[in-house]
């Protein structure tokens, strides 16, 4: 080995600027972000959408476009950070686009000031965008059009409200939205195969624990805990018909009577760190390496079983790993080893035992993938690094089944479909925010049936004028209670009378607080909601972490969120 390390490649200017986020989503996530083009269809006070874009422009999203036909007013100056006095009377789309662009010279911003109705009639008007955001209020026919576009072109669609102290957003993702890099908690991810060691691992343990009882103190205290556990499991098996400790009682006996008692205490510390680590690892590491149900379900989906030449590479790899699982009864070894008390050389040797097994498993999966590619006549081979990443995280992959959210149409009953039963059940949980979701649906229905100028133009929202608050309150509460009844009916749920009256009362209070706002956004609530939405957009674009499925409600009176699937 050369004496001097290679010359330093210091970070680039871009790496310096984005350092704090690259530590979360890495260079591949950043590249995905830079290739995105987000469309915001804005309306109302319009703050949520701008706050969302702020949090995407700062980390360097590729492009954004704001569609907004409003003109900057005094009211905007009181609630929005991305307009200034000199913008008064200008198109809000242009003004806000320019102010947002100032945040990051790497980002391109565009604007469309024509009304959304005519914008959408142009052919291919939505084609450039990789993700679409829609602010409430919006006419139902427009929202339906955007929802149909999301369905047909698989472009993720976000729809959101920020009304006074409350907010909501729903995400319409493609019907199959798989994620490989879910970033699970490090604590829960080590898969050490202690109950199913392969030959090299068993050999390593046997070698490191040879003559364990007679070892010098210094050696005894440095045997890696993985070797200790494998050694004592072997001993245990010999006196129990070859069965490892498997029940909870077995494991605690194994931990307290075998491992803890094998530690030497006749030293200055009164114990041994490696034995302490072994004791701590018993309950979480002595589990059969069985993948969870959600992962096994992925292997059984139609997309995974019926591959075609243009299946997404996720499905081809998933199919190959499914074959691996059928053959071996386990997933590929992920290959990482937690840090532990050990001598450097022993630890590195152990790391290599895991790494070479992981590499061997990857090779087997790569071979299956290549053979699938040949039989499917696929033109471009899947990159090996993608297969490797999949194998490493196979136990934690996730499939989100995206679906359309509710588009409230004037006079039509809301349908809950296969979600009715589960939603009606959650409704009765104390503190559930489903009544608030229902109040938002009622708020939408009000907007769908009231126009600002009686010409079918912009919708009018509940509670705008002081003199209308009481009548609007009655209307929105009435719609909300009807929606609630329809849900209970559709679910054929039997809810106790006094429980139901509590839920009705809550629904009425939420409706009343929404009407109080009269369509006003509070900057704090819009900023918080913009934070939530931008976070979800980053997850969706980078295909990392796990997005909301599919609706999130925020209650700014109680400061809490709830996620539900509608």
Partner 1 sequence: MVDQVSEICGSMEGLTLRRRKYLDKFLTREGPFTDPDSFMPGEPVIESLSRTKVLVIGAGGLGCEILKNLALSGFKDIHVIDMDTIDVSNLNRQFLFRHADVGKYKAEVAAKFVEKRVKGVKITPYCGKIQDKDEEYYMQFALIVCGLDSIEARRWINAMLVGMVDESNPDSMKPMVDGGTEGFKGQARVILPSMTSCFECQLDMHAPRAAVPLCTLATIPRQPQHCIEWAHIIAWEEERKEITLDTDDPEHITWLYQKALKRAHEFNIPGVTYSMTQGVVKNIIPAIASTNAIIAAAVCNEAFKIATNTNPFLGFPGTNNYMMYTGDDSIYTYTFEHEKKPDCPVCSTDAVARPLTVDGNSTLQDFLDSLAERPEAQLKKPAIRTEAKSLYYQFPPGLEEQTRPNLAKKLSELVENGEEVAITDPAFPLQFKYKLIFK
**Among candidates 6, 120, 4, 103, which has minimal Cα distance to 61?**
103
Among 532, 540, 541, 566, binds partner 1 (CB under 8 A): 532
Supply the DSSP symbol for 429.
S
For partner 1, the closer CB: 272 or 521:
521
Using CB under 8 A, which residues numbered 490 to 519 contact partner 1?
508-509, 512-513, 516-518
- Here the tokens at position 499 are 């429980």
For partner 1, the closer CB: 242 or 270:
270
x/- letters, 49..88, toward partner 1 (CB under 8 A): --x--xx--xxx------------xxx-xxxxx--xx---
123-129 long-range contacts (CB < 8 A, ≥24 apart) are: 126/39, 126/153, 126/155, 128/37, 128/39, 128/65, 129/37, 129/38, 129/39, 129/65, 129/155
Using CB under 8 A, which residues numbered 252 to 271 contact partner 1?
none
Binding piece for partner 1, criterion CB under 8 A, among 200-208, 294-302, 449-457, 523-531 = 523-531
Closest contact distance (angstroms) between CB of 181 and partner 1 is 11
Closest contact distance (angstroms) between CB of 482 and partner 1 is 20
Closest contact distance (angstroms) between CB of 517 and partner 1 is 6
| Pure H helices in 80-175 | 92-101, 116-121, 140-153
Under 8 Å CB-to-CB from 454, ≥6 apart: which residues?
A: none
Closest contact distance (angstroms) between CB of 123 and partner 1 is 35
Using CB under 8 A, which residues numbered 451 to 470 contact partner 1?
463, 466, 469
Using CB under 8 A, which residues numbered 2 to 21 contact partner 1?
4-6, 8-11, 13, 15-21
By CB under 8 A, residue 549 contacts partner 1: yes
Closest contact distance (angstroms) between CB of 1 and partner 1 is 6
Among 136, 286, 298, 552, binds partner 1 (CB under 8 A): 552
Q: Are strands 131-135 and 37-41 parallel, antiparallel or unpaired?
A: parallel
CB atoms within 10 A of CB 290: 12
For partner 1, the closer CB: 340 or 372:
340
**Among candidates 270, 290, 286, 189, which has minimal Cα distance to 232?**
286
Closest contact distance (angstroms) between CB of 94 and partner 1 is 17
Closest contact distance (angstroms) between CB of 281 and partner 1 is 16
Supply the DSSP symbol for 182.
-
The helix/strand/coil state of 57 is helix
For partner 1, the closer CB: 92 or 319:
92
Q: Are 113 and 94 in contact (CB under 8 A)?
A: yes
460-465 long-range contacts (CB < 8 A, ≥24 apart) are: 461/44, 461/137, 461/163, 461/518, 461/519, 462/514, 462/515, 462/518, 462/519, 463/514, 463/515, 463/516, 463/517, 463/518, 463/519, 464/518, 464/519, 465/518
Q: How far is CA 122 from the centre of its chain?
A: 34
> Tokens 């102290």 correspond to what residue?
165
Among 43, 170, 507, 534, binds partner 1 (CB under 8 A): 534
Using CB under 8 A, which residues numbered 147 to 206 contact partner 1?
164-165, 182-183
**Among candidates 226, 228, 199, 190, which has minimal Cα distance to 212?**
228
Using CB under 8 A, which residues numbered 377 to 406 contact partner 1?
none
Among 408, 522, 541, 566, binds partner 1 (CB under 8 A): 522
x/- letters, 90..129, toward partner 1 (CB under 8 A): ------------xxxx------------------------
**CA–CA distance, 173 with 160 (Å, rounded to integer):** 15
Closest contact distance (angstroms) between CB of 165 and partner 1 is 6
**Among candidates 522, 531, 493, which has minimal Cα distance to 162?**
522
Closest contact distance (angstroms) between CB of 125 and partner 1 is 28
Under the phi-then-psi rule, with left for phi > 0, alpha for psi from -120 to 50, and beta for the rest, what region is 46?
left
x/- letters, 321..360, toward partner 1 (CB under 8 A): ------------------xxxxxxx-xx------------
With CB under 8 A, what is the number of residues at the site for partner 1?
92
């Amino acid at each position: 080995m050369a004496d001097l390390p290679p010359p330093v490649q210091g970070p680039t200017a871009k790496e310096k600027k984005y350092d704090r986020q690259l530590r979360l989503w890495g260079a591949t996530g950043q590249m995905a972000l830079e290739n995105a083009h987000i469309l915001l269809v804005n309306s109302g006070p319009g703050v949520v959408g701008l706050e969302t874009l702020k949090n995407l422009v700062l980390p360097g999203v590729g492009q954004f476009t704001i569609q907004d036909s409003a003109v900057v007013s005094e009211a905007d100056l009181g609630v929005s950070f991305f307009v200034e006095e000199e913008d008064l009377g200008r198109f809000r789309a242009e003004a806000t686009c320019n102010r947002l662009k100032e945040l990051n010279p790497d980002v391109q911003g565009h604007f469309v000031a024509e009304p959304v109705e005519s914008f959408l009639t142009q052919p291919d008007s939505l084609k450039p965008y990789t993700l679409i955001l829609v602010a409430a209020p919006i006419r139902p026919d427009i929202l339906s059009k955007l929802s149909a576009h999301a369905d047909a072109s698989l472009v993720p669609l976000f729809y959101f409200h920020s009304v006074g102290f409350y907010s909501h957003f729903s995400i319409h993702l493609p019907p199959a939205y798989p994620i490989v890099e879910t970033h699970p908690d490090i604590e829960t991810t080590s898969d050490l195969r202690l109950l199913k060691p392969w030959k090299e691992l068993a050999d390593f343990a046997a070698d490191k624990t040879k003559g364990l009882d007679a070892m010098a103190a210094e050696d005894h205290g440095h045997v890696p805990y993985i070797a200790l556990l494998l050694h004592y499991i072997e001993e245990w098996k010999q006196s129990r018909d070859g069965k490892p400790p498997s029940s909870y009682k077995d494991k605690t006996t194994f931990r307290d009577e075998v491992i803890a008692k094998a530690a030497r205490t006749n030293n200055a510390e009164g114990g041994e760190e490696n034995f302490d680590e072994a004791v701590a690892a018993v309950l979480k590491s002595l589990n059969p390496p069985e993948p969870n149900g959600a992962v096994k379900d992925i292997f059984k989906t139609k997309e995974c079983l019926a591959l075609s030449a243009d299946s997404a590479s996720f499905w081809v790899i998933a199919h190959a790993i499914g074959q691996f699982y059928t053959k071996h009864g386990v997933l590929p070894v992920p290959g990482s080893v937690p840090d532990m008390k050990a001598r450097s050389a022993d630890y590195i040797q152990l790391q290599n035992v895991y790494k070479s097994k992981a590499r061997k498993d990857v090779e087997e999966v790569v071979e299956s993938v290549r053979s699938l590619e040949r039989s499917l006549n696929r033109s471009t081979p899947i990159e090996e690094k993608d297969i490797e990443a999949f194998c490493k995280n196979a136990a934690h992959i996730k499939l989100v089944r995206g679906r359309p959210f509710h588009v409230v149409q004037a006079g039509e009953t809301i349908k809950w479909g296969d979600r009715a039963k589960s939603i009606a059940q959650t409704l009765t949980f104390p503190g559930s925010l489903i009544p608030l979701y229902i109040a938002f649906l009622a708020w939408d229905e009000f907007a769908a049936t009231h126009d600002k100028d009686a010409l079918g133009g912009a919708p009018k929202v509940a509670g705008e004028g002081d003199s209308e608050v009481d009548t609007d309150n009655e209307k929105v509460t009435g719609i909300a209670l009807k929606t609630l009844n329809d849900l209970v009916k559709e679910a054929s749920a039997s809810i106790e009378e006094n429980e139901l009256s509590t839920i009705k009362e809550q629904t009425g209070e939420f409706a009343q607080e929404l009407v109080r706002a009269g369509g006003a956004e509070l900057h704090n609530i819009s900023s918080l909601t913009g934070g939530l939405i931008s976070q979800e957009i980053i997850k969706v674009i980078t295909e990392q972490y796990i997005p909301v499925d599919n609706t999130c409600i925020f209650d700014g009176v109680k400061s809490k969120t709830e996620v539900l699937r509608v």
